Structure 1
Amino acid sequence: MHVPLYLSPSKSNSMAKLLSFFSTIFILLSLVISSATGEVDEYAFGKSINRKSKGIKREKLSHFKFYFHDIGSGTKPTSVVIVPPPKNTTITGFGRMNMIDNALTLGPKLSSKIIGRAQGFYGSSSLSELSLLMVMNFEFIEGKYNGSSLAVLGRNPAFETVREMPVIGGSGLFRFARGYVQARTHSLDLKTKDATVQYDAYVLHY
């Protein structure tokens, strides 16, 4: 014979409160463990995480100096036209675009030690002056920066003595990077249009 279990109202309320208490403790412990391990709910769109879990410590400012070789001549050019300017364009070559994989060296000579590559593109973006839109990554291969890169995007008025462009990010040791570069033409061959440009990069990074 089955005898139904009966709990008095007071005992029933006590049991409910006890279950609620343990449920709250369980949820809090789960949140603490998840926060400590850096785990993120796979269904969560955005969530705060511990800065140290991504190696973010104290921000520092670094200066890098190197030379950029834009070579469009010869049998192995590192700068090639991928979009020619329209026939009715101005003398600025408005609309022309080049893809680049230019060497970055320690010294001004192309034979100097290569410390990285400038990969991306630039295009003539002005009707009235020789001004370029630069979109490129400086991919480094030197020392501890091997495999790290800086992203540069900005306006380059080529005939000005000093041109400044923003550093908008980076990868590897330059994650969360910000700063700017200054470009100065070191040499320009008017016949071949080959150019060597000095770059000074000032970068805030972790």
Structure 2
Amino acid sequence: MEGRLVLALILAVCTAIPCHGYYSESKPYVPPAEKVTQLYFFLHDTVSGKDPSAVLVAHPNFTTAFNNTPLPFGSVFATDDPLTVGPNLTSEVIGNAQGLWASTGQDVMSLVVYWDFGFTQGKFNGSSFSVFSREPVTQLEHELAVVGGRGEFRMAKGFAKIKTYFADLTTGDGILECNVTLVHY
């Protein structure tokens, strides 16, 4: 009886219809026409106080560069920074920038940032775009690369021109003026 069962199982496996695998043949993707969207807002990055929007999550055991600054070389911060329509934190909040930034400059203070700019109000509610770029914080104006997006900003590319609106070098707090150009579908 066992022999028949084994033979039946072998025949069942051999005659099974093969699966298609993890993909299927399809027609080439033809994206819709590209759109260009301009965004203008302010980002509030607060390191100090009892309710910061950026918190230290890792730091080196020792550091030789920028020891007396709130942003010593090798530090990594997690962020949930509010985005507002105006430079004051009391302005209308339209979303937040969540992500990480790391202090990466030994000779000149700079950061590498990954932020997902998510919108919670207005036309772009539920949509976001992401940047991953180097940010030379000692320059008052710089540019970040847009590397993707979702929702209304699906497959976004572009750039964010960042201007320091306010910086407190003692605490590390800052307000950034963001002028963003997105190309998306």
The answer to whether TM tops 0.5 is yes
Residue 33 of structure 2: aligned partner: 58
Pick the aligned partner of 2:23 from 21, 33, 45. Answer: 45
Structure with greater Cα Rg: 1
Deviations 1:185-205 (A, max 9, x none): 000123322110011110001
Match of 1:173, SS state, is helix
Q: Which structure 2 segments of 5+ residues have no match? A: 1-18
Question: Structure 2 length normalisation: TM-score?
Answer: 0.81
Q: Which has the higher helix share?
A: 1
Measure the CA separation in 2 of the matches of 1:89 and 1:193. 18
User: Identity of counterpart residues, as a percentage?
Assistant: 34
Give every structure 1 segment of 4 or more consecutive aligned residues whose post-TM-superposition deviation is greater than 6 Å: none
Question: Structure 1 length normalisation: TM-score?
Answer: 0.73
Q: Which has the higher strand share?
A: 2
Residue 163 of structure 2: aligned partner: 184
Pick the aligned partner of 1:104 from 83, 99, 112. Answer: 83
Deviations 1:128-166 (A, max 9, x none): 111100011001112221111101000000011211111
- Structure 2 contact 63–74 (Cα < 8 Å) conserved: no
Number of aligned positions between the proteins: 163
Q: 1:191 to 1:87 in 2, by over 3 A?
A: same
Measure the CA separation in 2 of the matches of 1:42 and 1:158. 51
Of residues 62-71 and 191-200 in structure 1, the stretch that sits farther from structure 2 once superposed is 191-200
Residue 122 of structure 1: aligned partner: 101
- Structure 1 contact 51–57 (Cα < 8 Å) conserved: no
Give the alignment's Cα RMSD to 1 decimal: 1.9
Residue 148 of structure 2: aligned partner: 169
Match of 1:198, SS state, is strand
Residue 14 of structure 2: aligned partner: none
- Higher RCO (CA < 8 A, seq sep 6+): 2
Q: Which structure 1 segments of 5+ residues have no match? A: 1-40
